[in-house]
Amino acid sequence: MRAKRLYCFFLCIVLFFCSSCNSKSRSNKIEKNFFAMDTAMSFKLYGSCSDDDLNKISDEIILTINSIDKEFSSYIENSQTYNINHRTQNICEISPEMYEILAKAQDIATLSCGAFDYTLGTLINLWDVKNKTVIPDQNLICDVLEHTGYKKTSVDYDCTEEKYYFYCSDSKLQIDLGAVIKGYAADKVYQICLDYNVYGLISIGGNITAIGNKENGKGWEIGIRDPMGTQSDYITTITLYGGMNTSTSGNYERFFYYEGVKYHHILNRLTGYPAKSKLTSVTVTGPSGVMCDMLSTACFVLGYEDSKKFLENYENKYTAVFINNFGDVMI
């Protein structure tokens, strides 16, 4: 009798461990850190599929990001952006994907009154904040500014030919999709992960996408980087639920000092100079990665007060966390 009871007890303990082990091994995990689009990227994904399958998904994600870069980077010869910037006529054919991106960019440029403007290619090249340490000549800035402006461009779909077109009235105008492509890539990667039924977090140059919630059903805790600190310091956190993205625009990554003044890479088309909005970073959260990417740039240029009004256009679908020059966090 006693032996029986002990046997039952022992069996219960064995079953308990079996069930614990099962729940732990239900999800395999893959974690990757890599460099693409001139920035650091990483993801950690979980799924009930095998390690081999997770490796295949990981390869597909990296391949997708690299092909998006190849297709939309201004600096890669024969990319769509390169072809637009080297057009010989004021009209050129574009892919449906480029049409989709430019149509959204046009909308946000219009709603933000040019605070976000994807037609600053010549101005961005003139400043070249990544490589230069002196500010451009004022006359050059004025000359270049004449060849910018989203109002000079438009996109269209010809349903008879089933072709997409980009029009521009200014032959010297150049587009730059630096504030768009990372978010666009995040949306594509998100779709891949959904197709393969895996969940986790993707970070594309600081733009973060949550694919599903954590295994316990809770959202992911995301720290917003402290602009005054190192890459691992964060000033506040937000909870990111499955299907949501964050994108941060800040002046602490790409900048140089000239005669004691800081010049960063987020340019304001109205002045031709880096935006002076008393902000050091803006993090926008919402359901579309590409929208978050563009909106964070727009909000950074607009500043806190104007951004609050601007974001009302999106009826709480997109929210922002602002950090000002004093390090104050504002919502």
Partner 1 sequence: MKKIKPGDIAVIVFFILLAVVSALVLWNGDNNKKTERLIARISINGENFTSVDLNSINEAYYIYPTEGVSILVENGRIKFAESDCKDKICVLKGWLDSKGDCAICAPNMCIISIEGGDIDAIAG
Binding site for partner 1 (CB under 8 A): 1-2, 6, 9-10, 13, 16-17, 20, 24, 201, 203, 206-208, 214, 220-229, 231-239, 246-248, 250, 281, 283, 321, 326-331
Token pair in block for residue 115: 């605070």
Residue (203 or 268) nearer to partner 1, CB? 203
Please, which residues have CB within 8 angstroms of residue 66's CB and are 6 or more apart in sequence? 36
Residue (63 or 228) nearer to partner 1, CB? 228
CB of 271 to partner 1, least distance (A): 24
What's the rounded Cα separation, in Å, for the pair 284 and 249?
9
CB of 201 to partner 1, least distance (A): 5
Residue (28 or 106) nearer to partner 1, CB? 28
CB of 187 to partner 1, least distance (A): 16
What's the rounded Cα separation, in Å, for the pair 98 and 246?
22
CB of 59 to partner 1, least distance (A): 22
CB of 321 to partner 1, least distance (A): 7
Residue (247 or 268) nearer to partner 1, CB? 247
What's the rounded Cα separation, in Å, for the pair 281 and 126?
23
Token pair in block for residue 153: 């461009």
Cβ contact 44:54 at 8 Å: no
Residue (2 or 159) nearer to partner 1, CB? 2
CB of 42 to partner 1, least distance (A): 8
3-class DSSP assignment, residue 263: strand
CB of 207 to partner 1, least distance (A): 7
Integer CA distances (angstroms), 214 to 22, 125, 177, in order = 17, 42, 32
- The set of long-range contacts for 275-279, using a CB threshold of 8 Å and a minimum separation of 24, is 275/251, 275/300, 275/301, 277/301, 277/302, 277/303, 277/304, 278/303, 278/304, 278/324, 278/325, 279/251, 279/303, 279/304, 279/322, 279/323, 279/324, 279/325
CB of 112 to partner 1, least distance (A): 21
Helices and strands in the chain: count of H runs, count of E runs:
9, 15
Q: Which residue has the tokens 């010809």?
A: 158
Residue (27 or 90) nearer to partner 1, CB? 27
Beta strand 220-225 with 234-240 is antiparallel
Residue (113 or 330) nearer to partner 1, CB? 330
CB of 264 to partner 1, least distance (A): 14
Residue (1 or 134) nearer to partner 1, CB? 1
End-to-end CA gap in the chain: 67
Q: Which of 147, 148, 115, 136 is nearest to 266 (CA)?
A: 115
3-class DSSP assignment, residue 132: coil
Residue (69 or 226) nearer to partner 1, CB? 226
